[in-house]
Amino acid sequence: MITDVSLVDIASPEQIQPSAHSAPVKVSRRRLRVCHECDLLLALPRLKSGEKAECPRCQHTLVRRQTNPAERSLALAFATLIALVLSVAFPFLSFNISGIGNGIALTDTASALMSLHYPLVALSVLLTVIVLPCLYLCSLIWLCVGMTRNKLLPRSHRIARTLGYMTPWMMADVFVIGTLVSLIKIIGMADIELGLSFWTFCAYAILLLLTTQSVDRDWLWQHLDPEPKAPNHAQLGFSASLQGLAGCNTCGLVNRVSSLGKARCKRCGELLHPYHGVNNQATLALLFASVLMYLPANLYPIMVTTSLGDTQASTILGGVLMFFQHGDWPIAIIILTASVLVPVCKMLALLWLCYIVRQPKSVLSPLSRNRLYRITEFIGRWSMVDVFVVAILVALIRNGSLMSVEPGAAAISFTAVVILTMLAAILFDPRSIWLHTAPPLTHISQHASSTKSLSSTSKEEPHV
């Protein structure tokens, strides 16, 4: 259970708002961070294993400290990679009906779509389930091996920069839900056999989730490249952009930026994104494209089923109604939520956020709007459930005119909707939500998994 155990002062009100007659107060220039969601400049407190530091204004988690982070991540990454290899090497699913059946491996879900000329859908399945997780695990193992040996391996900095980009697109856990929905769809008409790969894949999905949560990027970059001091005259509790500063989204270093040209982080070389005011054109363009793709995704069939020569096409809503009619309420609710409610709510929420950030007053507080954005960003990937259901059924049920399933035209459109809405959420700048929020804050929350009291009044320079 996570409990709030202390508040660590990073500056007094006199330090943040000095009077005209008082001498300037020195502020530590080590371990400063810019909150990526509200642009507040903060100083990290001392953290022990199992604790995390949150922004006091928007409650965004800045750092989550782990016990033995290199060894922990290395062990989890190795275990996850082994589970992935086993998932690919053995049979995944098979079915039998009246002596006629078929069995598939995990990779057949993508190859079957490719053979039916649906390369975008096939590539989406292959990348999100196998390729990107494999690259992520190999990259993490490469970094952890170097750190445990106290001798970094070549290109460690460049590899570490890619980890954050791959995380949102790894969807093994969503694929597990899609597999369960597929099984319930055909379990009443055929005998289903779960292969060894199915069980190892479930273990792989759980281990992958644990692996991504074990990565402490702040600790990682402290060991890859010790943190230099932040720029002079940085005032805590104020917006970084007003001071000509920007925090690196990759390594967290605070950099001074100019209004001329593009700047890069002086520690990791990543392109910096200083806040220059509300700019939602990219998000709005992607939302407009997703709305256009969402219409054919619901009007055209997403799956075409052939049984004993009788061909029947079903749309997304048609599949939901079929489950309701057969009494499969839980599955109907899952598909309705993931394939209809989530995309619509996500598009409406992002459109509303793009509008409301330009308004000085709103019904919802900035913190509520920020929470809405986080929910919107989190739920978008779960819309891939329907795409994975189509991929599994197409690969599994392929017996010509006797019984077969083929993807419909809506499969491409719906895959595009998921990708476009995820990109729209990623490109939306949550710092715009706090544009009209004035009060600077003077403390940072520190959380731990135990109720042990921590020292919260130390004025010493914070460190790892």
Show the tokens assigned to 223.
């060991």
The strand pair at 303-307 and 310-314 is best described as antiparallel
pLDDT at residue 461, rounded to an integer:
37
Reply yes or no on whether the pLDDT at 58 is more than 90.
no
Structure tokens at 133: 């997780």
Go through the chain and tell me how many residues it has: 464
Higher pLDDT, residue 460 or 198? 198
Mean predicted confidence (pLDDT) in 246-271: 84
- Structure-model confidence comparison of residues 194 and 98, the more confident one: 194
pLDDT above 50: residue 232: yes
Distances (CA, A) of 140 to 70, 81, 143, 147, 217: 9, 11, 5, 11, 11
Q: Are 300 and 408 in contact (CB under 8 A)?
A: yes
The per-residue pLDDT for 124 is 93
Element at 420 (helix H, strand E):
helix 410-427
pLDDT at 73: 93
pLDDT at 400 over 70: no
Task: Fill in the amino acid letter for 211.
Answer: T
Q: What percent of the chain has pLDDT over 70?
A: 85
Dump pLDDT digits (tens) for 377-387. Answer: 888 888 898 89
In the sheet that holds 61-64, the strands lie side by side as: 3-9, 443-448, 51-54, 61-64
CA distance 326 to 406: 22
Look up tokens 């700019």; give the residue: 279
Give the residue with greater pLDDT, 454 vs 48: 48
Find the mean pLDDT for residues 79-95: 93
- CA 16 from chain center: how many Å? 34
- Amino acid 68 reads N
Where do the structural domains in the chain lie, given as residue ranges?
Answer: 69-221+278-434
Residue 161, CB-side half-sphere exposure with 13 Å CA sphere: 13
What pLDDT is attached to residue 26?
44
Residue 428 confidence (pLDDT) above 50: yes
